[in-house]
Amino acid sequence: MASDKYADYVQAVQKECPEADAGEIAEAFAKYEEEFYIPPQDAMRSVLRRFQSGTTPTPSGGGSTTTRQTKKVANLSELTGSDRDVEIEVAIVSHNIRDQMIRGEEKQIAFGMLEDNPWEENGQRTRWDYKDWGPHANLAAGSIVRIEGASVNEYNGKMSLNINQSTRIVVLKEGVATTVSSNDPIDINNIPKEGYICVVGRVLASRPDQIHRKDGSGSIDVVRGRLADDTGTIGFLSWEPFDHEVGTLVKVDGAQVRSFRDTPELNFGRTTRIEVYHDANFADLETLSQNTLTNVAALRDGSRDVDAIVQITEMTKRTFDRDGEEKFLWSGQIADPTGRCRISIWDALPFDENELPVTVQVKGARVRAWQGIPDITVDSADQLTMLETPPWDAEMDLTNHAVDVKLTDVVAGPSRVGMKTRGMLVSVREDSGFIKRCTDCRRVLRDGVCFDCGENEGTEDIRLRLVVDDDGVTAAVLVNKDASLAVLGMDQEQMRSKVEEVGDLGFVQYVRELMLGRQISVSGRSIVDDQGAMVLADGFELEEHDAQMRASELRTQWGWA
Amino acid sequence: MERARIARQPAHLLLASEFGSATLHEKGSGEYDPSFVITKLGAKVNRIVAAGLLERLELRETSNGSSLYQGQLRDPTGLHYFSVGEYNSEMMQELAHQWTERLNDGEPLLVMMTSKTRWYQTDEGAVYTSLRPEEACVVKREVYANWLLDACQATMARMNQFTASLEVEPTLDAYARTGLPASLLAARNHYGEVDLEPFNLNLMQALDIAEGRIEAATTPPPVMTLPDGEDAAASGDGPGVDAFLLEAIGHLDQGEGVTFDTLLKNAVARGFVREVAEAKLDDMLDTGVLEEPRFGWFRLAPSE
């Protein structure tokens, strides 16, 4: 049954990932649809990605019998994930030693970051992580070396270099022992997604934890917790004993930032220096704890210990079977003045589902994301506190509220629902106008053929496919039928006669004359993934500005009046 | 499905003077890496939205027999040179064809174009930038005026960054800390000292035009009018070969003048007749506009 319904999608996925199991793919689509209201055409990208990451790359023809060619490159960008026996000159940015159990044997390995293009001053440089399995004694931070015989490792789209035991390291310039982490502490909200940093913060939380090795070879004792300063908070993971109590102000130098999904986290290792710090002016624990309240716009996939006040606007109960036992889950929509997203509650609701909307304070929740849209996961009803009134204007209708987001933030941020953004329209794609959608999957047909389902008579639809740029970032915009017709000031029949009069491409040109180079604003939802940002717009406006007024304003602003 | 697709490059807003005076080029090492032009103000652009009066558009045959439309687009600060060839979409070629005819009929065309940027160097080492429009359309003046203001704001933002950078240690780290783009550092290293005054004047003039104060903006040259009257086409054949030669010498002179050959080759590349350009050079020498410090090298005569 379920598998029939998604047959076309399953086929499409299998085209990309021939080894994936049809039943599993269908299950994935069913899960998106039933649990998260995501129709298969919207889930397609996500499902594909999941199965693609599961497939192993097909081994390339020759096998090990062919002699390897050394690949000599100047820049890391020239390397691909499959490169073996690489030769490159790099600067070693950081170098750390760590003990690791390898095949039951304790072994030292080194890891850190290196940087290409070491000779050119002010040149463009790329940084990669590396692991040194040697470890090589002549590898030191600050030195410039030639690495001969390294291999490239690609994991989850992130590239790193493996320096093997057989790799030769030639030191070209001795390391001037510059400490990598500058001793200037940085604000927590300025912490980059990767790198070594120094930070001063108060310990907000700290608890021992264990990490289980995936291969079942045992577990490692670690400490997890959270640091805060008055700009924000960040989680940490200490691989070494960490016995500073909650409330202690510490200075952490040489912490490594790693990102889990979209959430940066500090890693403390052997080379990290942690000391108690004294600053009478530093915000106290109570003040900082209040700052941990976050909002919908700030939610990131992978965050933990999230506190927020939100309004629950919709709730649906789903039941499912796990190991023959019936389980349930409440899932629905939430909103606050900064945006909308989803919530999943794995417990009985502490309120009546017919009394929506309700305002609740959520404590200690996790965040996952589906299609990039955050989903606050609440495991127990204890984490929810009912509030009488929201801390914002209670009259606000959050269900139809579109939050203004700068395009630079749209592109850099998570996917959003209920957003509005603006920019300059720089392209009207030629496939704007009347289109035919596949009657089965709604995918747009090309010459009467659906990419997934084959030949199809199709149903007619209208859309505009645009590109909007602002301040050095770009986003694709798909405008739906109603919004397209509204901005064109036409009904469907008027548009049809226009297209008959000037042709499909003539119509595209007509649209360009109307809007190319103009500031527009669009509202709807955004999807941000590794292919860039896309706005699915159900609202679209051409901004009208009085140039004369604007010019006078600028003149005043620039002091030229 | 395409994997690891190269991301689309955003379009920037540049006035012609900033783009035309750029000589720095950057391209990654990969085959499909985008190429960029870096301007004096540090804008790193692969694509721009340009607008202005379509000043010239002509079809010419290239040496290999394909056809190429070459044109120029004037905004209040100068000229953009662009070409539309067989590598463009059919629609863009058709548009170029239509516009050529309309222009020949003397119709003033105010146009907006999203274009790829191109950088090239002649055998003599002269560096030029030009545009390859991807999408273009005729616009009304209100749209143009608003574009002009958007472009002014973008330019002003870059000028402010430029000024801020004077206080910052010239390293990538220091630039990153102060939120300045790396391309600005590249620009500072490449161009040396940059005088912001011409940019200021450009912006003032552009504001005048956007405000409808055309007279205030009409300082000679460049002449710029919005096509709201019948005389708007006047600038269509405005700057002739002498204007081009002066501009070229202004751009290319590194202190010792510009060679005769370079000037003529570039004039021909821009569609001027070689003999005419040659005669014009002589004229300008005679009238004292130019001087020839040594044989075959030309430079602008110092005024007064």
Res B163 pLDDT > 90:
yes
- A493 vs A121, residue with greater confidence: A493
C-alpha B297: how far from chain center: 25
Cα-only R_g, chain B:
20
Smallest Cβ–Cβ distance between A558 and the set B30, B47, B156 belongs to: B156
Per mean pLDDT, which of A123-127, A520-524, B249-253 is the most reliable? A520-524
The answer to the question of residue A31 being in a domain is yes
What confidence tier does B216 reach under pLDDT thresholds 50, 70, 90? Answer: low
Say if residue A143's pLDDT is above 70.
Answer: yes
Range from A410-419, A492-501, B135-144 carrying the lowest mean pLDDT: A410-419
- DSSP of B65-83: S-EEEEEEEEETTEEEEEE
Last residue of a domain, one of A371, A394, A417: A394
Q: Within this chain, do residues A253 and A319 fall inside the same structural domain, yes or no?
A: no
pLDDT at site A325? 86
| Domain match, A460 and A428 both | yes
Q: Do B1 and A16 touch (CB under 8 A)?
A: yes
Residues A422 and A477 in one domain: yes
Single out the residue in A394, A414, A443 at which a domain terminates. Answer: A394
pLDDT in tens, A537-556: 999 999 999 988 899 899 99
Q: Is B47 on the interface with A (CB under 8 A)?
A: yes
Give the pLDDT score at B239.
53
> Within a domain: residue A179?
no
| Residue where a domain terminates, one of A266, A290, A314 | A290
Token pair belonging to B117: 């940027």
Q: Does residue A260 form part of some domain?
A: yes
Q: What would the pLDDT profile of A423-471 be if each residue is shown by its tens digit?
A: 999 999 999 999 999 888 888 888 888 888 888 888 999 999 999 999 9
How far is the C-alpha of B46 from the C-alpha of B118, rounded, in Å?
8
CATH topology classification for B8-238? OB fold (Dihydrolipoamide Acetyltransferase, E2P) (2.40.50)
CATH class of B241-300: mainly alpha
Do A433 and A481 fall within a single domain? yes
Across all residues in chain A, what is the average pLDDT? 83
Structure confidence at residue A104 (pLDDT): 64
Q: Is this structure's pTM higher than 0.80?
A: no
Q: Check B170 against A550: CB less than 8 A apart.
A: no
Examine the domain organization and report whether A446 and A469 are in the same domain: yes
Residue B73's alpha-carbon distances to B67, B226, B243, in angstroms, are: 20, 13, 15
φ, ψ at A413 (rounded to 5°) = -95, -165
Instruction: Answer whether residue A66 shows pLDDT above 90.
Output: no
Mean pLDDT of B30-50: 92
* pLDDT exceeds 60 at position A119: yes
What is the pLDDT, as a whole number, of residue A501? 94
- Judgement on whether residues A48 and A80 belong to the same structural domain of the protein: no
Output phi, psi for B46, to 5 deg.
Answer: -105, -20
Q: Choose the mutation target among B211, B213, B214 for the interface with A, i.e. most A CBs under 10 Å.
A: B211
Contacts of A485 (CB under 8 A, 6+ apart): A462, A491, A492, A495
Q: Tell me: do A75 and A152 sit in the same domain.
A: yes
Quote the CA–CA distance of A30 and A298 in Å, as a whole number. Answer: 29
> What b/e readout covers A81-118, taking b as 16+ CB neighbours within 10 angstroms?
eebebbbbbbbbbbbbeeeeeeeeeeeebbbbbbbbbb
Question: Are B91 and A551 within 8 A, CB to CB?
Answer: no
* Same domain as A410, residue A390: no
Which residues in chain A are closer than 8 Å to B207, comparing Cβ atoms?
Answer: 551, 554-555, 560
Calculate mean pLDDT across residues B242-269: 77
Place of tokens 């170098």: A95
- Residue A276 sits in the same domain as residue A341: no
Domain count, chain A: 5
CB atoms A513 and B47 under 8 Å:
no
Q: For residues B183-195, give the mean pLDDT.
A: 93
B139, B197, B213: best mutation site toward chain A, by most A Cβ within 10 Å? Answer: B139
Quick one: pLDDT at residue A59? 38
Whether A441 and A471 map to the same domain: the answer is yes
Domain-wise residue ranges, chain B: 8-238, 241-300
Work out the number of other CB atoms within 10 angstroms of the CB of residue A356. Answer: 14
* Residue B261's pLDDT band (cuts 50, 70, 90): confident
Tell me the shortest Cα–Cα distance from B123 to chain A, in angstroms: 26
User: How far, in Å, CA of A467 to CA of A522, rounded?
Assistant: 11
Q: What is the mean pLDDT of residues B278-300?
A: 80
Chain B nearest-CA distance from A35, in A, is 27
Q: What is the pLDDT of residue B232?
A: 34
Q: DSSP string covering B167-195, please? A: TS-SSHHHHHHTT--HHHHHHHHHH-S--
> Is A560 in CB contact (< 8 Å) with chain B?
yes
Residues of A in contact with B13 (CB under 8 A): 424
Looking at the fold, whether A312 and A256 belong to one and the same domain comes out as no
- Domain membership of residue A107 (yes or no) is yes
pLDDT in tens, B54-72: 888 999 888 788 889 999 8
Cis bond upstream, residue B34 (ω within 30)? no
Domain that holds residue A284: 188-290
Share of chain A above pLDDT 90, in %: 27
**Strand pairing class (A71-72; B297-300):** unpaired
Restricting to A residues 506-545, those with a Cβ less than 8 Å away from any Cβ of B are 508-509, 512-513, 516-519, 531-532, 545
Query: Which residues of chain A neighbour B9 with C-beta distances below 8 Å?
Result: 474
Residues A197 and A284 reside in one and the same domain: yes
Q: Which of A58-72, A118-132, A479-493 has the lowest mean pLDDT?
A: A58-72
Give the up-direction half-sphere exposure of residue B152: CA atoms within 13 A in the CB hemisphere: 30
Is residue A169 predicted with pLDDT exceeding 90? no
* CATH code of the domain covering residue A149: 2.40.50.140
Is pLDDT of B227 > 90? no
